[in-house]
Amino acid sequence: MSDTLQDKLDTLAGLLVDGSPHALALGMKLVRVSPGEAVIRAPYQAESIGDPETGVMHGGVVTALLDHACGTAAFAGLGGDQAVATLDLRLDYMRPAKPGCDVVAEAKTIKVSGLIAFVSAIAHDGDENDPVATAHAAFMVTRASQAAAERARAEVEQHMANDKAGGASS
């Protein structure tokens, strides 16, 4: 692994959303990750609509987006090598997302205390000053999250070994 946190996060970036089946199913895309911060986009798509009459994105998609962005920011805030689990998540919905617009969640780790990270986030559909929702959350490192991280790390190492073996033979 690289010697800086940003290098580590850049190496892991592809897995931070794509390694999560629910995030993949919702079409989420990592926009950027840096120490203690994450930005993730949920695309507007037919499968995400909660009200067919208005075309408004379902609030559950916004919730999942904020939870995932906050968890990614917490992971990055805790050094990028300890998987986290949601301990507490509070959302305040302010308005429906505009039909036809992607929703972006911008999350920032406010404080790390031992194995707990406290995070704040906003979700917006293009105007950060007019949020769709805000979130405040706490995430912690747990045995279960560490076991999941170890399984994911082993899969990544196996994938890298397979790529290296395939590259050496061509």
How many other β-carbons are positioned within 10 Å of the β-carbon of residue 84? 26
Task: Provide mean pLDDT across the span 114-128.
Answer: 96
Kindly state the percentage of the chain with pLDDT values over 90: 70
How far is 148 from 9, CA to CA, in rounded Å?
18
Per-residue confidence at 56, pLDDT binned at 50, 70, 90? very high
CATH number (domain holding residue 20):
3.10.129.10
Looking at the structure of the chain, the number of domains it has is 1
Q: What pLDDT does residue 169 have? A: 46
Instruction: With a cut of 70, say whether residue 112 has pLDDT above it.
Output: yes
Q: CA-based angle 126:130:131, to the nearest 5?
A: 80
Average pLDDT, the chain: 90
pLDDT score at 146: 66
Domain that holds residue 60: 5-166
